[in-house]
Amino acid sequence: MIPLVAALVTGVTKGNLARMVALAGSVATLVVTLFVWQKFDPTGGTQFAFRYPWLESLGISFAGGIDGISLLLVFLTTFLTPHIIVSGFGKQVKNESAFYALILFMEAALIGVFVATDAFLFYLFFEAALIPVYFLSAIWGGPNRRSVTFKFFVYTMFGSLFMLVALIYLYFQTPGYHSSDINAFYKLNLSTTAQSLVFLAFFLAFGIKMPIFPLHTWQPDTYVESPAPATMLLSGIMLKMGVYGMIRFLLPITPGGLQEWGHIVIILAVIGIIYGSIIAIQQRDMKRLIAYSSLAHVCLMGAGIFSANANGLQGAMIQSLSHGINVVGLFFIIDIIQNRTNTRYLSELGGITQKAPQLATLLMVILLGSVALPLTNGFVGEFLLLAGVFEYSNWLGGIAGLTIILAAVYMLRMYQKAIFGTQTDLTAQFEDLDANEKLVLVPLAVMVILIGVYPNLFLKITEPAVNQILQVVLAQ
């Protein structure tokens, strides 16, 4: 409720006060999340549950709760949102009240997705999250924003339509007084054919949202054309709705579909890892480079999920957190460089470290997390994901492992060309980080190290919930 109320207040607040109200609302939401984290018992199942009648005659409720999987993604959402809001403080934003209100509406919808225990409530929030980011991109985006955001909207609505059909079908399969409770769907005994069809419907919806190869074609252009805060929301948090949906819905409801289609999906995901990495190596635009890098990382998460083992799912969860932190930091630094130089092209940059050692240092920390250096956050997630894929198939695990080498190639190449080398006319007067920029980047860099050094702080939260999902999968 806090981000929703803060969004409404922000929407009617004028001038610079709007950004401060938005920041206060997002920080308050983070404080509540930390309180829940402190009270949360990882072995206690779903906690902080609530249920209110919605469409009572149809057995549909406004119901939610938090288990370890939900809590980690709610934490990611509430941790990143204040940083995304602060990232816009150094810019002149037209209609600030609407801009920051949309970010808070987005946060509210994302939290709703991760805590909903009623399938139709999940769908409501899943669709609601699309609206704010659409307007953020369509109004404040680049010159091609309208065509790009229209493509993004059509893609995601297309996938969501199939998910809605699948949810309605599952609802009518529940016995007697029909229920849309997600746990009721877990208990269904569907035929192999029905599971296959529901699997494909869910895969389209969640695969587009992640996105996973070959459902990714909306992603690079949308990331490039969107304003930096919208890109951060899309890449850092929104794509995790797809990860969450696959773990929460697809695996436990359609294990038969997983057996029939899972191998093909893993092959597609591994292809996406290599494809995204190779395309990233060829990029000259830093923002597009990170977009394809994100595709490669997300495809590795997809491969881990469909390996359907503890390592793969735990890897997907911790990598969701790590990827969100890293990609938000990278996109923000690229936005800083673009604001100071009016370019994102590597051929026009160089020598930034001579003028901005603080930016160069923090970029290196976040970059090393992205290339999975040991003792950074990316190493924990990628190690578990690759272990999960190896457990499924040695051959696929070996090919997927190339992501570490390829990521080092395109990331270090980007760093070398933009940060090292000879100064250009555009970087000769480059200024180092200001206070607001440090306020965003320093906590992100700290999290890169914290997760890498103390991964059990986060893994112990998700482990019981992940094991419970796997028990449901294996029991059917």
d(CA 136, CA 381): 30
Under 8 Å between Cβ of 138 and 269: no
Q: Which pLDDT does position 476 carry in this prediction?
A: 62
ω before 143 within 30° of 0 (cis)? Answer: no
Q: Which pLDDT does position 244 carry in this prediction?
A: 93
Whether 273 shows a pLDDT value over 90: the answer reads yes
HEC-encoded secondary structure of 357-369: HHHHHHHHHHHHH
pLDDT tens readout for residues 416-427: 988 887 888 887
pTM score, whole prediction: 0.92
Q: Which pLDDT does position 420 carry in this prediction?
A: 87
The structural domains of the chain, with segments of one domain joined by +, span 2-475
Under 8 Å between Cβ of 302 and 332: no
Tell which phi-psi region holds residue 93, choosing left (phi > 0), alpha (psi between -120 and 50) or beta: beta
Distances (CA, A) of 464 to 44, 108, 276: 9, 26, 33
Q: 118 in helix, strand or coil?
A: strand
ω before 211 within 30° of 0 (cis)? Answer: yes
Under 8 Å between Cβ of 382 and 403: yes
pLDDT tens readout for residues 163-210: 999 999 998 888 877 888 888 898 888 888 899 999 999 999 899 888
Q: In a 10 Å sphere around its CB, with 0-12 CB exposed, 13-18 middle and 19+ buried, how is residue 169 labelled?
A: middle
**Token pair in block for residue 193:** 């054919």
Q: Which pLDDT does position 82 carry in this prediction?
A: 93
d(CA 442, CA 182): 39
Q: Minimum mean pLDDT among 289-298, 407-416, 419-428: which range?
A: 419-428
d(CA 311, CA 69): 14
Whether 75 shows a pLDDT value over 90: the answer reads yes
d(CA 158, CA 368): 37
Number of Cα atoms under 13 Å in the Cβ half of residue 51? 12
* Between residues 54 and 22, the one the model is more confident about: 22
DSSP code of residue 345:
B
d(CA 265, CA 163): 18
Q: Give alpha helix (H) positions in 44-144.
A: 68-87, 96-115, 119-128, 130-140
DSSP code of residue 57:
G
Whether 56 shows a pLDDT value over 80: the answer reads no
Q: Residue 6's pLDDT band (boundaries 50, 70, 90)? A: confident
* Between residues 301 and 178, the one the model is more confident about: 301
